Chains A and B, each alone.
Chain A
Amino acid sequence: MTGVMLWGVGTSQYRLQPEKRVEELAWTAIAEAVADAGIQPWQIEAIVVGTVFGPPGVATRVQRGLGLPGVPMWTVENACASGTSAYHEAVEAVRRGRFGCVLVLGVDQMSTLFSGAIVPEATDPEGASSLPLPGLYALQAQRYMQEFGVTPEQLAAIAVKNKRNGLDNPRAQLRDKAPTIEEVLSSRMIAEPLTFLQCCPTTDGAGAVIVGRERNNPNDLRIEASAMVSGALWDHRSPDVWGYASVARAAEQAYEQAGRSPAEIDVLEVHDAFTIGEIITLEALGLAPRGKGAELAPSGHTARDGAQPVNPSGGLLSRGHPLGGTGTAQIAEIAWQLRGTAGARQVARHRVGLVETMGGGAAGMDGNACVVTILSVP
């Protein structure tokens, strides 16, 4: 137990909005989170911002609109886990008594940088060799499929489930229709075996979370655990596919902090930037043994009305993925689910929720960072 509470959440719309200033996305999310927490802006004692592409100085430009001069503020970057890394630092700061109320912001505006897939990082050994992120996940998928006999249809089932969930999320980018397995598999090939509909869309968005000390507010949620790990070597000695070990390390810490087992989790938001990601992640989180994670979506276990719904928001596959803006949106969805205010997306059992975000892309490491947090209704 951390002794830290989640006070409020808010998000912008998640879609392509290059016409907006990046600060505007942030202010929309922050205003909603402040109102949701039932606080006045001046009660915020510190700000932690998670963003990958910034731009540099974005935190201060956001701060200028908030009227919080001089508060401690820092920006963290951990690839796709930047927003949840910022959240983790805020939780740690409150847990250790440094602050009583911290604003977390996750934000990125991708549409002004990339017209399609993220251009690989030229300073990275594999990025310089033109390995795109869908290519990295495709290498993971090829290995996993050959090792465990998983089928393309099982991969596609993740996209079908999440995009169907996303139809009921008014803030998700993709809401026009839910594809069938056949439509997922026959969409344009991006990197074999991952087709277009198995890749999350480029998106702009921001999410804000306010965490603080215990207070007597029935709207607050208990933060039972927050764990962050950075990457470890992933190389010729590694028994697992890329990414698995970093999620498993964070999950082990989080379950121990919360004193919970995977079976006790009612609802999850996990990093499904590509379909294979959800499968590997759920194995690393202990929802299925190794090689069996691909059965969770086809069996209905992770459906919205299943035993353990995963990505009821539609996930990254529907909401889109503004890197820094993803983790805080995942936390917002779990907060709405646990409070029972998720509307058409509401799951039946909602006492304990889990959020996982894994950021990666640096060659030879099993992730840049992974954050797992567990929240519950007090």
Chain B
Amino acid sequence: MSELGVGRPTKRRPGAAVGGLPVADPRPVLDGAGADAAVVGLRCTQCRYPVPQRRIPWCPVCYGSVAEARFATTGIAWSSTVVQIAVGGRKPPFALAYLDLDDGPRVLVHLAEPAVVPIGTRLRITGTDDGDLVAEVAA
């Protein structure tokens, strides 16, 4: 029997972050810079529900029509963690947080500093790193 996997196709799926083929980017988008910076997404024209992604067919809460919206880059931390394993191209340690934007949805962000922050900490999205939203503790 030949050594496993050598010289034969493997089962790794296309689309995986490692060893796969590129896919359309599903992440939330940061638009503009400085005071004009905003997370862009959609908001329901009826119930005002905010969504951090685009091209959904209707409001998933009330089925109303949705329109493009710009959300604040500031908000409060719902939770955070420091990941200590390599994930895709990310080398440990790196910190992730769920950030509830002031006038918008909950988004996943990378934290500039690899440390857990208390619940409710004010955060500000300052930019992106390889397409990921990056936030730091607001002054």
Which A residues, 103 to 118, have Cβ-Cβ distances below 8 Å to chain B? 112-113, 116-117
Q: A67 in the interface, Cβ–Cβ < 8 Å?
A: no
Which B residues, 1 to 41, have Cβ-Cβ distances below 8 Å to chain A? 1, 4-5, 10-13, 15-18, 20, 23-28
Q: A216 in the interface, Cβ–Cβ < 8 Å?
A: no
User: Would you call B15 and A192 a contact (CB within 8 A)?
Assistant: no
User: Would you call A123 and B80 a contact (CB within 8 A)?
Assistant: no
CA distance A139 to B106 in the complex (A): 13
CA distance A306 to B100 in the complex (A): 41
Chain A residues positioned under 8 Å from B11 (CB to CB): 53, 55, 112-113
Q: A217 in the interface, Cβ–Cβ < 8 Å?
A: no
CA distance A128 to B20 in the complex (A): 12
CA distance A119 to B116 in the complex (A): 23
- Looking at B10, B90, B98, B132, the one whose CB has the most chain A CB atoms below 10 A away is B98
Chain B residues positioned under 8 Å from A363 (CB to CB): 108
Q: B79 in the interface, Cβ–Cβ < 8 Å?
A: yes
CA distance A43 to B118 in the complex (A): 59
CA distance A19 to B3 in the complex (A): 9
CA distance A148 to B105 in the complex (A): 24
Chain A residues positioned under 8 Å from B110 (CB to CB): 129
Interface residue tally for chain B (C-beta within 8 Å): 52
CA distance A122 to B104 in the complex (A): 24
Which residue of chain B has its CB nearest to the CB of A143? Answer: B79
Contact with B along A129-140 (1 / 0, CB 8 A): 111101100111
Q: A32 in the interface, Cβ–Cβ < 8 Å?
A: no
User: Known: A127-B17, A129-B27, A235-B106. Contact between A190 and B100, CB under 8 A?
Assistant: no
Q: B61 in the interface, Cβ–Cβ < 8 Å?
A: yes
Q: A40 in the interface, Cβ–Cβ < 8 Å?
A: no
User: What are 13 inter-chain pairs, A to B, with CB distance below 8 A?
Assistant: A119-B87, A120-B88, A123-B26, A128-B27, A129-B133, A130-B94, A132-B83, A138-B81, A146-B118, A147-B119, A189-B84, A191-B84, A364-B52
Q: B53 in the interface, Cβ–Cβ < 8 Å?
A: yes
Q: A64 in the interface, Cβ–Cβ < 8 Å?
A: no
Contact with B along A185-196 (1 / 0, CB 8 A): 000111111000
User: Would you call B84 and A190 a contact (CB within 8 A)?
Assistant: yes
User: Known: A119-B16, A122-B16, A143-B119. Contact between A132 and B52, CB under 8 A?
Assistant: no
CA distance A55 to B12 in the complex (A): 10
User: Would you call B105 and A190 a contact (CB within 8 A)?
Assistant: no
User: Known: A128-B17, A140-B79, A142-B79. Contact between A119 and B105, CB under 8 A?
Assistant: no
Chain A residues positioned under 8 Å from B100 (CB to CB): 236
CA distance A53 to B13 in the complex (A): 9
Q: A66 in the interface, Cβ–Cβ < 8 Å?
A: no
Is the contact region of chain A dominated by helix, strand, or loop, or is it mixed?
A: loop
Which residue of chain A has its CB nearest to the CB of B19? Answer: A119
A16 to chain B, nearest CB (A): 11
Chain B residues positioned under 8 Å from A55 (CB to CB): 11
CA distance A235 to B85 in the complex (A): 26
Q: A124 in the interface, Cβ–Cβ < 8 Å?
A: yes
Q: A214 in the interface, Cβ–Cβ < 8 Å?
A: no
CA distance A191 to B95 in the complex (A): 9
Which B residues, 94 to 130, have Cβ-Cβ distances below 8 Å to chain A? 94, 96-98, 100-101, 104-106, 108, 110, 116, 118-119
CA distance A216 to B119 in the complex (A): 57
User: Known: A18-B4, A130-B88, A139-B80. Contact between A236 and B26, CB under 8 A?
Assistant: no
A37 to chain B, nearest CB (A): 31
Q: A233 in the interface, Cβ–Cβ < 8 Å?
A: yes
Which residue of chain A has its CB nearest to the CB of B90? Answer: A130
Q: B58 in the interface, Cβ–Cβ < 8 Å?
A: no
User: Known: A128-B26, A131-B96. Contact between A143 and B78, CB under 8 A?
Assistant: yes
